[in-house]
Structure 1
């Protein structure tokens, strides 16, 4: 028995027993914090994309990002992403 299952071509997931074990041992606070970081990152990424597509849109206030989790084209990113002016258009 493998702990990794291929459920579709080129798509893999962990075996149900591994997911159950992780769910039983996950701390609710850590899980909630991880989900919050994911949502904040997704909001920043979407907002950055919106401003790249339509620079005339009004910027909105977002929660601070977790250090090290910065969307590639964010104004606070340290490394330019693929659509940055230094690298030219996608």
Structure 2
């Protein structure tokens, strides 16, 4: 671990960019640009953060916030049933990836 930051934000998703900015300010642009991988818990999982990490060229290991919920067999079953209902209701072909 090279950096940490305390935040009083109710949602961690809004704190990743400030964490990265603090790290860059503390260690300098040269060290910051040598970073290759970012690991963070599910609280940081958001499309905005995934996009920001990708734009900076990081390999990111950030679990998205519904990962654990999606592993539940009942959740998977209900998601598949909902997808079928939508297909039947709209008469449109929907391609969906469900793990």
State if a TM-score over 0.5 links the two structures.
Answer: no
Greater helix percent: which structure? 2
Q: Which structure is richer in relative contact order (CA contacts within 8 A, separation 6 or more)?
A: 2
Scaled by the length of structure 1, what TM-score is found? 0.29
